[in-house]
Structure 1
Amino acid sequence: MKQLPAEWKSERIIISDVEEYEIPEIQSICNTSRYLQQWDGREHDPDYVKKCVEEGNLPPGGKLQNYRIQSIRTTEENRIMGLLSMYHGYPSEDSVYLEFLYIQSDIQKQGYGQEMIQALSFHLSSLGYREIRINVALKNWPALRFWIKSGFNQISGIYGDSEHSDTTFANTELIKTL
């Protein structure tokens, strides 16, 4: 199975495999996403990045070699500004599942996310993948707007609690055809 290279670029960003020495800084960036808990109900994991590097965050029956966690940096300052994790070949061989994408809040709304998704789509398409999937919390309206604007315009399902309340949560799986 073909996978994204260990490092790839777009005009303003560099995306590369997370190195062990980067884990504390990337975890610190990841910690700034804790506000997402109010929308998805997941507990914060202070060792999320380390676990992803060592074990991956795999789908049922998944293999570590198909998983990738990468840092997102600015080309201009080489500053780490986010992270991307994905699984190649789930739920089908020609699919890539985005497990997590986060760009620091102070850098959001500057077009980096859209640029990253455009570059990612181009690279994955050139490798023969036909779709990208992502799971988004229904309460996360900013993310839903971002993903729909990025071309994730198919819904494959809604999962989670059937009733809406402050303590219930549901997600939708969005698909972008390449």
Structure 2
Amino acid sequence: MLTPKITYGRARTGLTDPLAVLRLKGARVSLVEGEIRLLFENHVRREIRKRCYEYAAHFDALLRLQLEVPPGENPRTIQQLVGVGRVLWRDGRFVIPSRRPRGLALPTDWSMLPREQRLRLWLRSEGLTLTRLAERMGVHKSAPGKWLVSGREPLPANRRMELVAMGMPKECLP
């Protein structure tokens, strides 16, 4: 495949910019009717063209984000996309966050589920974990687990009111 990163000297490496890599290889990249199109200069060898097509297929979603701009505007850079949160950089890889809403749809009939499962479903629907719930409440990260899941400690009345005010259904509380 082509060079995976654009480097600026030996010590520094930059984010992968698929559009810049393809341009360096002599390709003009465009988005035509929803498809990525590559046009090459005459001097570009066939094997390089083939590798460019494979590279473009691999980074298809990222290239679309870069090229989806109004007519007459320059394509977005990877740095711009990372800066506004359209692309995330995790463990040396690009991650495109999904646009779907987080969480699950809650069941309408809660009566058949055990209380702990109802609690887990509610936390998921809110995009929370027990640790994040503890952060919101301003308590140690193990406290909600002791109160709500294991029952090792009773749930204080003021914390019960706080959880209900956060929107937790009373059926999830012990």
Structure number with greater Rg is 2
TM-score normalised over the length of structure 1? 0.21
By percentage of residues, which structure has more strand?
Answer: 1
TM-score normalised over the length of structure 2? 0.21
More contact order relative to length (CA 8 Å, sep ≥ 6): 1
